[in-house]
Structure 1
Amino acid sequence: MSSSDIFFGELLGTAVLILLGGGVVAAVVLKKSKAFGAGWVAITLGWGLAVLSGAYVSAQLSGAHLNPAVTLGIAIDTGEWGDVGTYLAGQMLGAMLGAVLVWLAYYGHFQAHLADREIVGGSDTPGPPAVDDPRRAEERPVADGRGPGPVLGVFSTAPEIRNAVQNLTTEILGTAVLVLLILGIGLNEGLALSGTGTLMVALVVVGIGLSLGGPTGYAINPARDLGPRIVHALLPLPNKGGSDWSYAWVPVVGPLIGGALAGGIHNALF
Structure 2
Amino acid sequence: MGRGRGMGVGMGKAILDRLGRFGQFLWAGWAGVAGLALFAALWQAGHERFGAFILPAPLETLAAGWTIAGNPASWILAGTTTLRAVEGFVLAGLVGTAGGIAAGYSPATMRLARPILTVLIGVPPIAWIVLAMIWFGSTDGTVVTTVVVAAVPVVFIGVAEGAVTRDRGLDDMARAFGAGPLARLTTLGFRHIAAFLFPALTVALGSAFKVAVMAELLANTGGIGGALAAARANLDVAEALAWVLIAVAGLILVEHALVHPVRAEFDRWRDAARPWGVKR
Q: Does the pair score TM above 0.5? A: no
RCO higher in 1 or 2 (8 Å CA, sep ≥ 6)? 1
* Structure whose residues are more often helix by fraction: 2
Greater Rg over alpha carbons, structure: 2
